[in-house]
Structure formats: C-alpha cells, structure tokens
Structure 1
C-alpha cells in the first residue's frame, strides 16, 4: 500500500443540506517525498513500536519516494545515418535523485526499467535471428551528474551522439557521466538488447538492486555498480543505440523508476 485514503462517515438519512462535502483524497498513485517517509517512521516509533518493526512496516508498504522518467513516443534510430554507422539517441531523462537533511541518508533500493521496442526486422548472421546474439540495437543507461557550480540546463531529448555518449559531449548542459569507482572509464550500463532481426515489438522489464548480483535474463545487463554509483542530484539517462549499416532501433516506450530507501 503506497498511498493514503481519506474517509468520511455519513449519518444515515441525514438531510441533504447537512451532509458534509466529500473529502478528495490524493491522486493515485501516491508518491511520498523523503520527508513523508521520515514522518511516517517517526509516527510509528511514537506509537512505541520498535524501530526495526517500523522499518519493516514501511518496507512492506513500499512507502518510499520514487524517482521516475517515462516517455512513449516513437523514435527510429538508424545507424547508417551517422558517422561510423554508430548512434546513441537520448530517449528519456529521469527526475533528479532528491537530497535530504538532518543527517538522514538516501539509499537506492531498486532501479526498474521498462523498454518496448524492436529492431529493423531483418538481417543478422546465420543462427542469430530470433535470439539476442549478433543483435546490434540496444539500450544503455548513464548517470548524469551535475558538474561544477553551474545549474543543470535543459537537456534535449532525441539528441544524437556518435559514436557514443561521453562527458565532453554533455558538458554544455553542465553534467558529466558518473562511473563506478572500479571502472572509471566505462560510464554506461547495458540495459537490454533487442531480439535480433525480429519484426515483433517486445516489452522488456529489467530490475537492478543495490548490492545484489544475479544472472541477467537473455539480452539484459546485470547493472553491476549502478545503484551504488547513484547520488542525490543525479539523473538517469537512457540511450537508444544502433550500430553498423542496416541496423535500426525502433523505440516505442521507455520508463525508469528508482525506489529510494531512507536510512
């Protein structure tokens, strides 16, 4: 349960003129702020519940802030149209990770991606069509971190960078690409590859967890180090990629949700 409902009790058979006006509840789905989560935790502790039980209740209710980014406009990324037959199109950018005060910390609990797309529907090496092998259209995530003291400016969607995104290609917007400390020269994470040479549009859901390691599904990335790298103020950028002549990434929808936990 991640929202609150307001309820009004009406007296049976009360005259119409004396009945209270209905109280409108918040629009669904309710997305609590960091302050909301901290306040609910303090209420539970005030009720003499152990802190561990209060945290368990909040966790069970998933009463955490969620940072989102979503877009459902069609975009076709054609590798052959760009230098080196390689293109990265910025499809969606999330809201920034919020910052909180009073000594509280934000942990990135989970990051969930949803991708709806396909490739050009033909081509590929022998044995690859219908699999994720030999597929050269895919999606990547990067972490946009404010650079310097200048305010982050509007970052245009559908911006094409060839052959791939770099911090130098984004500095005009006062952001840089953050990378894991163990791989500082690789500031992108593979999300999902399209099925090779398939004309059928597919929906993929990929979830990465803070500190967790797992075997990814076919065509998916494992997100190693992604959640741990996110900081307050960061935004998540999702790039639609296409590489080599003839390869096209047909994008229909991409979304990202970051579930935050307050420590």
Structure 2
C-alpha cells in the first residue's frame, strides 16, 4: 500500500549567464507546498497536475535558464509496481496577442488540479496565454504534438531532494535544453507538478 505523500515544496527559476548573476536574475520563486494527490482524493488510478509556477514575460535572447526545485516522493511503497510517481514538466506559454498593454506581467496563482497540462487550456486562455507546441521525438503524424517537456523526476525518498537543472540556448538534447531556442520575447515558462497513482 503506497503512502500518498508526493510533494513539491519550492521552485526557483532564473536567467543565468554565470553563477554570480544567479540571485540578481530571478524570474519567479514559489515556496508553497503542493501535495499530489491531494489528501482528500480517491486513491484509485489517476494522474494529477498542478500549475506550480508561471514566470513573468521573458526578455529577448536569454542565454540560459536555471531551475532549482525542492521536492520528494512518497518515501516508500510496498509494491514497486504500484504507488505514486511524481515529476515536473515545463511548458512555453505564449501571449494570445502581441499588444503589450494586453499582456499581464503577473498571472494569478491557479489552484485547480487537473489530469494533464492540456486540461488547463481554457484557464490559460482566460489569462491571455496559449501553449507553444513543442517538437516531439515521435514519428510525425496528424494531431501529434506536445505542450510540455520533462524537467525532473522525483525518486522515492522521504527526505526533501534538491534538483538544479540549467538549460542553455543552442544545446539541443533530449532533456529539453533545446526549448530555449523556441522562446520569443514575451513568452513565459510554466512549471507543472505532476503525480500518477496506480
């Protein structure tokens, strides 16, 4: 029987060109704890997604972005084939209009929980944003697209774990670093906290 304690505790996103500039270039910080699945949830098989953090509009030509995430998974599971798995993903959110006055600097915190990031489409559109479609490694086909890129997977551990991920422009790789090449001025990065219960 799994313990349902998957937590996201802190996320810090910043533009960086050197470690010295880290504190002065913070884009967004959130230190609230999110528990997925929520304590009131039916523990049947289900996916849970929370929009954990959205950056303000990004400047043009950022050389790198650093993600610092503190989180942990449930800490134990008697059956390794079942339990709670948790991870974080990133999306690029683009403004619906390029009108500077119509774009808000701050997106209100969205506390809804849904099954997947795509289920937040209407909520984001109400904020004047839409998902930037991202390239996929799968064979091209009709309707094949993705709106998120994996950022980090939690390992089963009761202790809080710190994860630092740095993405640089021009580094094309399977771990998402090439996403910065797709970012335009005014885009935002969204960090999703996700968990799956089987």
Report what 2:128 is aligned to: 174
**Poorly superposed stretches of 4+, deviation over 3 Å:** 58-62, 152-156, 181-184
DSSP 3-state at the match of 2:126:
helix
The equivalences for 1:31-180 within 5 A come to 66=25, 68-78=27-37, 81=41, 85-98=46-59, 106-123=60-77, 125-126=79-80, 136-148=85-97, 151-152=102-103, 155-166=107-118, 167-180=121-134
Report what 1:190 is aligned to: 150
5+ residue gaps, structure 1 = 1-30, 32-57, 99-105, 129-133, 215-220, 246-263
1:160 Cα shift? 2.8
Report what 2:170 is aligned to: 211
**C-alpha RMSD over aligned residues:** 3.5
1:138 Cα shift? 0.6
1:224 Cα shift? 4.1
Report what 1:34 is aligned to: none
Residue correspondences, number: 169
1:84-113 deviation line (CA, Å, top 9, x unaligned): 621111111112113xxxxxxx32311111
Q: TM-score, normalised by structure 2?
A: 0.69
Are residue 227 (structure 1) and residue 188 (structure 2) matched? no
Q: Give the conservation status (yes or no) of the 8 Å contact 2:97–2:103.
A: no
5+ residue gaps, structure 2 = 1-13, 138-143
Which of the pair is proportionally richer in strand? Answer: 2
Larger Rg: 1
Q: Give the conservation status (yes or no) of the 8 Å contact 1:139–1:238.
A: yes
